[in-house]
Chains A and B, each alone.
Chain A
Amino acid sequence: MRARQPIEDHALIGDCRSAALLTRDGEVDWLCWPRFDSAPVLGSLLDPSAGGWRLAPVGRTHTSWRYLPGTNVVETTHRVPGAGSLRVSDCLTVASEGEKRRELLPEHELLRIATCEAGEVEVETSIDLRPDLGRAPGRWRDAGALGLRFESGSGLFALRSDRPLAPGAGGARGRFRLRAGETARFSLVYAGDGPAVLSPLGAAADAALLRTERFWRGWSARARYAGPFREAVVRSALALKLLAYAPSGAIIAAPTTSLPERPGGDLNWDYRYCWLRDASFTARALYGLGYQDEAESFVSWLIHTTRLTRPRLRILYDVFGRDPPPERDRPELGGYGGARPVRIGNAARDQLQLDVYGEVVDAACQFVSAGGGLDPDTARMLIGFGRYVCEAWRRPDEGIWEPRGGRTQNTYSKVLCWAALDRLLHMDLRGHLPRAPRDQFCATREAIRAHVEARGWSPALSSYTARLGGGGLDAALLLLPWYGYCPAGAPRMRATWRRISRELSAGGALLYRYPESIDAGEGAFGICSFWGAEYLALGGGTLEEAELRLERLLGHASELGLFAEEVDPGTFAGLGNFPQAFTHVGLVNAALSLENRRERRPQLRHQRAVPHARARPGGAPEARL
């Protein structure tokens, strides 16, 4: 079954608590309110019967669209041959905390403003709300001047417009004509609390749109990156910000569920949760771009959310640090492009991924390097992670890619255990971890390194291998220099890069994540491809090689600059949930490393001066800088 819209042909709008996807032809086909992981209200992305909101001219149109520069406001222009032209602006409205103190605003608002720019255009709109993808009952009611109201168990949805709308069994519909200069405004608000706050229309709606544009322009102007890829980097920062849940600081992996990693296949997962494996990359991207508040908020979430399970870390949490719901299928839904089943919840929550210790501790180390302080509880918790790593690093685990085929001895997981201990020693050296068992951490760190060098390197392949004592490649091994395990120019690393870039190449600058994914029909993995560019920028290649690779990868972005999790190497279509924080974080980090290289600035500052040490008997580590 063919999907109605390609994955990459969507725009993301949001308010940092919830998000919606919009298609080029004017349909909002995905919206979860009040939170990213709430049951969808509009879900035609996954099944035509699961609700959507279309606003577009009648008949055939030529359409172009863009994000207004520096914002998360989408502007779509529909040109109707022989009739005229219609511009539609779409956003979830936002406001600063100061503005919210001065003005009573709705909890959530999806604002759509259509203006006829030339000629006369007949416009049609139809909205079908289907809370919980059609499972939660509800019906439209006409409340006169208060608009149309739709009550369901989760709250009230109020739709207001300055054009007539008629509620019906299948939803609300309207058809009207706009002449040049005329505007129609539509506001859909959600209220969990009663009484609902209804947004006024007219000039107030225009002001809400301007306020939203102003907020995003101000936010994006703060991005501290002046390199040649600024537009792509800022768009990635804006996308990442839309995936941040402001009340807690969490960042979700993607706003969608069940967009397939294999066309029509069953690799469909719910990504509306927070993966700890993203921690260190996300912290680096935010700190690197100068978004100190977002970075600190994220690391604070990271540290506090893991308190319930410490010293064990789960691999994913919801935005408040709780377990995500158990995975369940929704067999009644057709799925995106026939890719079934649609899944809500994620069963990967029960896996063991030892690499997350390295990623979380590395993020905490970045926080400390940026001037943050650790209170005694947090210091104890981090030390507890270190002790757990010392005890558990030899265990098999599922590894970073979350295969569902069982546990194995993953080289990347061992290296990340090394990184966890290395960063803990780094923080200890700077006085942030009083009473850390240095000797134990040092000795274990060196034991891990010896183990990886002996069993994670294959002379036959001339490469580090995916599994200890076995074969296989893994693009995550490109991160060994990123975590300070070895220099990018080290002979073993260069040889590994040669092997990976040859055998995991998906053409051009695209890389698969591991060989099995090629056989499984998956696409090239977005962040792995950016890791390739970053590896070169970190010293694995020349500046020109790194720049060329990054430039080629940016050519795979959607028209609006967004990336899914994967790219189909044949058609270059997006695969997997969309847009994907992991991929955008990879883009930002590659650009930052490239810029550091160009400007001869130090790379990955928090990893500098890490002592590659042996424990002195009874004493502090002996630094070999």
Chain B
Amino acid sequence: MSAGGWAVWGFVATALFTGLMAGSQGLGLTRMNVPFMLGTLFTPERSRAKVIGAAVHLANGWALALFYAAALRLWGGATWWRGALLGLGHAAFVLTVVMPLLPGVHPRMASEQHGPEAGRLLEPPGFLALHYGWQTPLWVVLGHLAYGLVLGHFLPGP
């Protein structure tokens, strides 16, 4: 696989994922804002957090595209359905493992055990990120599915 292919399709897949999540948030289907969650790891200032978070998210997306490329290659070459399956596994991992663990590593996120002290903290996502709206897991799955589909379809095949 060429570095150019990885860079281009990694960017496209990440942009599609981000667009789906931002669109679902804008339509009031979920309150989860991934750039904001990532950016507040670094700064409490909301506007800057979103910019930093978007950059981190893009870098993440690219880095993970490399992982997808390697995984697909080991699997016998990229196909749309293998990409989609990787995306589904990725979404399941994020929703069931990463989200519940996030309050433990995020300096500005409350845990479910927070209190009685008050403070302006991000609310915890909860299992499957359901605290951000009941449709949140659906959009997270759709986003990762789209990400995996793009990479599976456009990266070099068998």
**Residue A229 lies at the interface, judged by CB distance under 8 Å to chain B:** no
State whether A307 and B28 are in contact (beta carbons under 8 Å apart), knowing that A248-B123, A320-B123, A375-B46 are contacts in the complex: yes
Whether A308 touches B116, Cβ cut-off 8 Å, given contacts A248-B110, A320-B123, is no
A377 nearest CB neighbor, chain B only: B46
Contact check: which of A297, A309, A310, A321 meets B119 at CB < 8 Å? A297
| A376:B115 contact, CB within 8 angstroms | no
Known contacts A107-B113, A308-B31: does B131 contact A246 (CB below 8 Å)? no
| Residue in A closest to B124 when the chains form the complex, CB atoms | A247
Tell me which of B46, B47, B112 has the highest count of chain A C-beta atoms within 10 A of its own C-beta.
B112
The A-contacting residues of B in range 3-45, CB under 8 angstroms, are 25, 28-31
CB distance from A242 to the nearest CB of B (A): 8
Evaluate whether A300 and B120 lie within 8 angstroms (CB atoms) in the complex, with A309-B28, A375-B47, A376-B47 already known.
yes
Question: Assuming the A-B contacts A246-B110, A304-B31, A376-B47, are A297 and B133 also in contact, with contact meaning beta carbons closer than 8 angstroms in the complex?
Answer: no
List of B residues within 8 angstroms of A287 by Cβ: none
> What's the Cα separation between A304 and B30 when bound, in Å?
11
B81 on interface, CB distance cutoff 8 Å: no
What are the residues of chain A within 8 A of B130 when measuring CB–CB? Answer: 322
Whether A293 contacts B31 by the Cβ 8 Å rule is: no
| Nearest CB of B to A382, in Å | 14
Which residues of A sit under 8 angstroms from B28, Cβ to Cβ?
A: 307-310
Q: From the candidates B47, B118, B134, name the one contacting A249 in the complex (CB within 8 A).
A: B118
B29 contact set on A, CB distance < 8 A: 308
The count of chain B contact residues (Cβ–Cβ below 8 Å) is 27
> Within 8 Å of chain B (Cβ to Cβ): is A534?
no
Per-residue CB proximity of A375-387 to B under 8 Å, as 1/0?
A: 1110000000000
Secondary structure of the B side of the interface? loop
B45-64 interface (Cβ within 8 A of A): 46-47
Chain A residue with Cβ nearest B134: A322
Which residues from B are CB-within-8-Å of A301?
123
Residue A616 interfacial (CB < 8 Å): no
Question: Which residues of chain B in 78-110 are interfacial with respect to chain A, using CB atoms and an 8 Å cutoff?
Answer: 110
The distance in angstroms between the C-alpha atoms of A94 and B29, with both chains bound, is 35
Chain B residues within 8 Å of A96, by CB: 117
The docked-state distance in angstroms from the alpha carbon of A322 to that of B112 is 16
User: Contact at B111–A293, with CB atoms within 8 Å?
Assistant: no
C-alpha gap A227/B123 in the complex (Å):
36
Q: Quick check: A247 and B116 within 8 Å, CB to CB?
A: no
Residue of A100, A297, A310 touching B118 (CB-CB under 8 A): A297
CB distance from B84 to the nearest CB of A (A): 28
Residue contact A291 to B118, C-beta cutoff 8 Å: yes
- Chain A residues 77-111 with CB under 8 Å of chain B are 94, 96-97, 100, 107
Q: Name the distance in Å between A552's Cβ and chain B's nearest Cβ.
A: 32
Interface presence of B121 (CB below 8 A):
yes
* A246 touching B116 in the complex, CB below 8 Å, given contacts A309-B28, A320-B123: yes
In the complex, residue of chain B having the shortest beta-carbon distance to the beta carbon of A292: B118
Kindly state whether residue B156 has any CB partner on chain A within 8 Å: no
- Closest Cβ of chain B: how far from A22's Cβ, in Å? 18
Contact A219-B123, Cβ < 8 Å, known A304-B31, A376-B47: no
Given known pairs A320-B126, A320-B131, the reply for A16 and B116 (CB within 8 Å) is: yes
For residue B107, give the distance in angstroms from its CB to the closest CB of chain A.
12
Q: Are B31's CB and A246's CB within 8 A?
A: no
A247/B115 contact (C-beta < 8 A), A293-B120, A301-B123, A322-B134 known:
yes
Q: How large is the interface on A (under 10, 10 to 19, 20 to 34, 35 or more residues)?
A: 35 or more
Roughly how many angstroms separate A246 CA and B112 CA in the complex, as a whole number? 9
Q: Is the CB of B31 within 8 A of A247?
A: no
> Chain A contacts of B123 at CB under 8 A?
247-249, 301, 304, 320-321
Task: Give the complex CA separation of A294 and B115 in angstroms.
Answer: 11
A15: which B residues are within 8 A, CB to CB?
A: 115-116
What residue of chain A has the Cβ atom nearest to residue B123's Cβ?
A248
Beta-carbon contact of A100 and B113 below 8 Å: yes
In angstroms, Cα B118 to Cα A296, docked, is: 9
Which residues of chain A are within 8 angstroms of B121 by Cβ–Cβ distance?
247, 249, 297
B114 engages A247 (CB within 8 Å)? yes
Q: Which residues of B contact A291 (CB under 8 A)?
A: 118
Whether a CB of chain B sits under 8 angstroms from the CB of A244 is yes
The answer to whether A17 has its CB under 8 Å from any CB of chain B is yes
Residues of chain B within 8 A (CB-CB) of A309 are 28
The distance from the CB of B85 to the nearest CB of chain A, in whole angstroms, is 30
Q: In whole angstroms, what is the CA distance A310 to B112 when docked? A: 26
By a CB distance below 8 angstroms, the chain A residues around B134 are: 322
User: Within 8 Å of chain B (Cβ to Cβ): is A485?
Assistant: no
By a CB distance below 8 angstroms, the chain A residues around B114 are 97, 246-247
Q: Closest Cβ of chain A: how far from B20's Cβ, in Å?
A: 17
A492–chain B nearest beta-carbon distance, Å: 40
Chain A residue with Cβ nearest B46: A375
Question: Using Cβ atoms and an 8 Å threshold, which residues of chain B touch A244?
Answer: 115-116, 118
List 6 tightest A-B contacts by C-beta distance, closest first.
A246-B115, A16-B116, A16-B115, A375-B46, A320-B131, A248-B123
Show 13 A/B contacts (Cβ-Cβ < 8 Å), sorted by A.
A94-B115, A97-B114, A215-B116, A244-B118, A247-B112, A248-B110, A248-B131, A249-B121, A293-B119, A301-B123, A308-B31, A320-B132, A321-B123
Partner-A contacts on B (CB < 8 A)? 25, 28-31, 46-47, 110-121, 123-124, 126, 130-134
Known: A294-B118, A322-B133, A375-B46. 16 other contacts (CB 8 A): A34-B112, A245-B115, A246-B110, A246-B116, A246-B117, A246-B118, A247-B113, A247-B114, A249-B118, A293-B118, A297-B120, A304-B31, A304-B123, A307-B31, A308-B30, A309-B28
